[in-house]
Chains A and B, each alone.
Chain A
Amino acid sequence: MKTIQQKIWMLVAIVLSVMIAIWLTLTFYNQKTQDQYNDILQRYLEMNEVTNASQLVITDLNNFLIDPSNKNESKLNNSTQEVFSAQKSVADLRNVDNDFILTSYINLIDSFIETVERSVTYQNAGDADSSVAQFSEANRISNYISEMTLLIIDSELKSYELFYRDIIKKSDELNQLGIWLLLLMTSFLLFLAYLFSLSITRPIHQLRNAADELSKGRFEMPIKVDSNDEISFLARTFDNMRVSINKLFDETQLKAQLEMELQENKLLLQESQLRILQSQINPHFLFNTLNTLSKKAYLEGSEETSDLLVNVAGLFRYNLKRMDRPVTLYEEVVVLKQYMEIQKARFPDRLYFHLEVDESCLHFEMPGLTLQPLIENAVIHAIEPLEEGGHIWFRIVDHGDIVRIEIEDSGGGMSLDKRQQLLDGAIMPENGHSTGIGFSNVMKRLTLFYGIETIVSIESEEGSGTKIILQLPKTGGIGNADETIDR
């Protein structure tokens, strides 16, 4: 991971090193040219030194010949030494072009020194004439040396002419190179700076967009940032936060839903219990009275009335006991039969009840008081309003995984709208129900018990009867854990 600081340092380092490299190269190049130039200049100076030294020797020799003192002699010796050293340094200047003439030059200097020495020797030997002759000879040679120096310098100029021209040309080319280099560096740096700024601003943009999404409440989109600096760290942390929030959010939602369902369940139970409580004004008194009436009727020989009263009493008892616990299908069917006995007594000629029960299904459990309200509905809608009465069919069929319970009547049926309203629980139970428990209460309890919405379905058309179908899974309900208070 590179930090932004590192990036900045890297950029600076690149720029700096490139500039240093250029500077070094140019300095080195310049130095080289300068050195060559100096070398050449040095050559001229050294050659000129020979001329100067030889002329000095002539002057000193002249002084010595006029006044042959020790002082003058040592002066002459010094200047002769200088000529020697100048000759030596000139010997180093030998190259392919000037080999011949330089050898001549050096020999000429030798001749000069020899002549000077001869002159001194003659002078010391007292032969003044020969000494003067040698002096004039030396003087001539000195002139030759000057001339030859000029000649050599001239030839040097010729052999270095190309080099000079090269230097001039290259200095122009160097200027041009400088301009190109400047342009190159400018564009290259712009490019680098652009890349650099992009590498910082792009992740920030992405982060900003992500924050925007989050602030709008969209927690699903993962936050992605193409970067490897601090911002990517920020983005990762941000993303973790998003995931946490998302999880928390979901959990809260789930909990709220559960809570809601629980609440609803409790409310339904309370509602049905309330209804029952309303209808059980002293149920024990009623129950005992019914039993007494039954005995009395039996004793008076009215057996039918006695049976009817027993049924009514049984129905009451069932209603009182079986609200908060699951019951078997068998128990439901028994109470259903009792209820139908009572209704048959009400409508002896108008009610035709058909019962088809698969005995093998009777041991399955289901919520209590579910079938009786449905049959009651059928009686209320299909039998009561009709002069000629009607048929009610009740079937329990084993359908593999499920137990199918059908309650069919031959009544007036209902419209599609009404059916839908019924399924949505929009119709409140009318008065006249024996238990006060309506269709929607049954449906909701079934849904809560099994945890499935599609337990109840209705087949109906206006004018051709209604069929209510319950499809109960054999695996049983899930809602048995409801902790309702047993009364």
Chain B
Amino acid sequence: MRKKVMITLLSLSAIFLAFTIVSAEKVFRPSTELPKLLTTSNDSPRLVLITQELKTSFWADVAKGAEKLANDKGAQLEVWGSYGSNSDEFLKKLELAIHSKMDGIIVQGLDNEAFSELTKVKASFYGIPIITVANDVPKQESLRKTYVGSDQFEAGKLLAEELLRDMDHEGEIILLSDEESHYSQQQRIDGMMEVFHSSPLIKVTNSQTSRSKEQVVAATQDFLNKSPNAKSIIAVNANHLNAMVQEISKRTQVEPYHIYSFDDGSDAFSLLQQGKIDALVKQSPVDMGEKSVELMMDWISNESGPLDTDGYITDIELVKRADGS
């Protein structure tokens, strides 16, 4: 009897002890580590890459290249920006970056007054170097150190020449571009026009639209109605492509149209793969990111002396639809 009671109590204790230990282990295991406190700030250069079009594949590539090189060079880099070409938000970020006294700002160029005010006055007031990337601004209007990206004039020419070959140097071409003038778009158009002027049988119709999708649709309807014979379309701003192609395919087949554009829109490449558009000028976003950070670091550490204000040109190539038609 005594033994029974003792054994029962002992075994009960043992069982409860086991459960208690398991439970205690759970409770007293070290909790999630809080982020480590730093007593001193990181002295490495703080760079920021600001774009209007966060998360598009083009800018994601730029950011990837920039981050890779920043990592290699021991710089801190953050990517700021706005979505969907929201220039107000973009400018605010730029101003914030300037007030935050970044060591260097790599920014997508925006050709308007506020941008040049910020870069020319504020940034130079704080002594912050600015490099434009992918889209340039006129160098006399901003005190940017340099530009890293494609030569848009050349890109326009490349596209135009290919189109002319496809069209056998005759026919009507529609140029769909933004209402507000953008320096880089203008350069592209300039490049194209130079080519088109040499072909007397080519007729170029400019169609302008603003950013919103409805506007793009309206503009598309407009040029389809006004120029039913035009079979070649160049979307100078690749972001307009999607809405435009959709509108065309509502009316008729997309196939007969020669649709040419650039790769810096959110879905330019997928449209090309689907065969809805015919050719793209492919730029080198990763190179742009890497090169811009490299130049910025050089500038900060004063290694290479003054930068070439004309800019550092990255490669471009023309990519046609897979079936070649």
Using CB atoms, name the residue of chain A closest to B26: A173
Tell me if B27 and A177 are in contact (CB < 8 A).
yes
Q: Does B10 contact A (CB under 8 A)?
A: yes
Give every chain A residue within 8 A of B27 (Cβ-Cβ).
29, 170, 173-174, 177
Using CB atoms, name the residue of chain B closest to A176: B23
Choose, from B29-37, B110-118, B210-218, B263-271, the stretch at the interface.
B29-37
Tell me if A108 and B96 are in contact (CB < 8 A).
yes
Contact A111/B36 with A163-B31, A177-B24, A184-B20 known, Cβ cut-off 8 Å: no
Tell me if A100 and B78 are in contact (CB < 8 A).
yes
Question: In the complex, which residues 81-96 of chain A have their Cβ closer than 8 Å to any Cβ of chain B?
Answer: 91-96
Q: Does B274 contact A (CB under 8 A)?
A: no
Tell me if A180 and B16 are in contact (CB < 8 A).
yes
Choose, from B98-106, B145-153, B297-305, the stretch at the interface.
B98-106
Using CB atoms, name the residue of chain B closest to A164: B32
Tell me if A166 and B31 are in contact (CB < 8 A).
yes
Contact A94/B38 with A105-B100, A163-B31, A187-B9 known, Cβ cut-off 8 Å: yes
Tell me if B99 and A170 are in contact (CB < 8 A).
no
Our pick among B32, B36, B37, B96 for the contact of A144 (Cβ within 8 Å) is B96
* Shortest beta-carbon distance from B321 to chain A in Å: 43
Using CB atoms, name the residue of chain A closest to B37: A95
Contact A159/B23 with A111-B100, A144-B99 known, Cβ cut-off 8 Å: no
- The CA of A160 and the CA of B31, in the complex, are separated in Å by 12
Q: Does B46 contact A (CB under 8 A)?
A: yes
Our pick among A29, A166, A184 for the contact of B17 (Cβ within 8 Å) is A184
Using CB atoms, name the residue of chain B closest to A148: B96
- The CA of A144 and the CA of B76, in the complex, are separated in Å by 21
Q: Does A209 contact B (CB under 8 A)?
A: no
Tell me if A180 and B9 are in contact (CB < 8 A).
no
- The CA of A94 and the CA of B20, in the complex, are separated in Å by 39
Our pick among B2, B19, B28, B95 for the contact of A180 (Cβ within 8 Å) is B19
Give every chain B residue within 8 A of A101 (Cβ-Cβ).
78
Number of A-B contacts (CB under 8 A): 114
Give every chain A residue within 8 A of B140 (Cβ-Cβ).
none
Give every chain B residue within 8 A of A103 (Cβ-Cβ).
41-42, 46, 100
Tell me if B20 and A96 are in contact (CB < 8 A).
no
Contact A141/B99 with A36-B34, A100-B78, A180-B23 known, Cβ cut-off 8 Å: yes
Tell me if B32 and A183 are in contact (CB < 8 A).
no
Give every chain B residue within 8 A of A94 (Cβ-Cβ).
37-39, 41
- The CA of A170 and the CA of B31, in the complex, are separated in Å by 9
- The CA of A194 and the CA of B3, in the complex, are separated in Å by 11
- The CA of A100 and the CA of B47, in the complex, are separated in Å by 10
Give every chain A residue within 8 A of B13 (Cβ-Cβ).
184, 187-188, 191
Q: Does A162 contact B (CB under 8 A)?
A: yes
Contact A104/B9 with A97-B35, A163-B31 known, Cβ cut-off 8 Å: no
Our pick among B23, B31, B36, B126 for the contact of A95 (Cβ within 8 Å) is B36
Q: Does A380 contact B (CB under 8 A)?
A: no
Using CB atoms, name the residue of chain A closest to B16: A184
Number of interface residues of A (CB under 8 A): 49
Q: Does A107 contact B (CB under 8 A)?
A: yes
* Shortest beta-carbon distance from A99 to chain B in Å: 5
Tell me if B35 and A96 are in contact (CB < 8 A).
yes
Please indicate which of the listed interface residues B16, B46, B102 has the most CB atoms of chain A within 10 Å of its own CB.
B16
Contact A104/B23 with A141-B99, A198-B2 known, Cβ cut-off 8 Å: no
* Shortest beta-carbon distance from A172 to chain B in Å: 10
Give every chain A residue within 8 A of B95 (Cβ-Cβ).
140, 144
Question: In the complex, which residues 246-271 of chain A have their Cβ closer than 8 Å to any Cβ of chain B?
Answer: none
- The CA of A314 and the CA of B10, in the complex, are separated in Å by 97
Q: Does A181 contact B (CB under 8 A)?
A: yes
Contact A99/B41 with A184-B13, A184-B16, A194-B5 known, Cβ cut-off 8 Å: yes
Q: Does A110 contact B (CB under 8 A)?
A: yes
Tell me if B35 and A98 are in contact (CB < 8 A).
yes
- The CA of A58 and the CA of B39, in the complex, are separated in Å by 30
Q: Chain B, 219-262, contact with A by CB distance < 8 Å: what is the 0/1 string?
A: 00000000000000000000000000000000000000000000
Tell me if B32 and A163 are in contact (CB < 8 A).
yes
Tell me if A111 and B35 are in contact (CB < 8 A).
no
Question: In the complex, which residues 82-112 of chain B have their Cβ closer than 8 Å to any Cβ of chain A?
Answer: 92, 95-97, 99-102
- The CA of A194 and the CA of B20, in the complex, are separated in Å by 22
* Shortest beta-carbon distance from B92 to chain A in Å: 8
Q: Does A190 contact B (CB under 8 A)?
A: yes
- The CA of A163 and the CA of B38, in the complex, are separated in Å by 19
Give every chain A residue within 8 A of B5 (Cβ-Cβ).
194
- The CA of A191 and the CA of B24, in the complex, are separated in Å by 22
- The CA of A276 and the CA of B28, in the complex, are separated in Å by 111
Give every chain B residue within 8 A of A91 (Cβ-Cβ).
41
Tell me if B99 and A111 are in contact (CB < 8 A).
yes
Give every chain B residue within 8 A of A173 (Cβ-Cβ).
23, 26-27
Q: Does B201 contact A (CB under 8 A)?
A: no
Tell me if B20 and A180 are in contact (CB < 8 A).
yes
Using CB atoms, name the residue of chain A closest to B36: A96
- The CA of A183 and the CA of B9, in the complex, are separated in Å by 11
Give every chain A residue within 8 A of B6 (Cβ-Cβ).
191, 194-195
- The CA of A196 and the CA of B295, in the complex, are separated in Å by 84
- The CA of A452 and the CA of B42, in the complex, are separated in Å by 120
* Shortest beta-carbon distance from B74 to chain A in Å: 14
Tell me if A100 and B46 are in contact (CB < 8 A).
yes
Tell me if A110 and B101 are in contact (CB < 8 A).
yes
Q: Chain A, 212-243, contact with B by CB distance < 8 Å: what is the 0/1 string?
A: 00000000000000000000000000000000
Give every chain B residue within 8 A of A108 (Cβ-Cβ).
96, 99-101
Give every chain A residue within 8 A of B322 (Cβ-Cβ).
none
A-B contact pairs, 27 of them (CB 8 A): A91-B41, A94-B37, A94-B39, A95-B34, A95-B36, A96-B38, A99-B76, A100-B46, A102-B41, A103-B41, A103-B100, A104-B97, A104-B101, A111-B99, A111-B101, A112-B99, A141-B99, A148-B96, A167-B31, A170-B26, A177-B26, A180-B19, A187-B9, A187-B12, A188-B16, A194-B9, A195-B6
Listed in ascending order, the chain A residues whose CB lies under 8 Å from chain B are 29, 33, 36, 91-105, 107-108, 110-112, 140-141, 144, 148, 159-160, 162-163, 166-167, 170, 173-174, 176-177, 180-181, 183-184, 187-188, 190-191, 194-195, 198
Complex A-B, nearest 6 residue pairs according to Cβ-Cβ distance, in ascending order: A104-B100, A184-B16, A107-B101, A95-B35, A191-B9, A177-B23
Listed in ascending order, the chain B residues whose CB lies under 8 Å from chain A are 2, 5-6, 9-10, 12-13, 16-17, 19-20, 23-24, 26-28, 31-32, 34-39, 41-42, 46, 76, 78, 92, 95-97, 99-102, 126
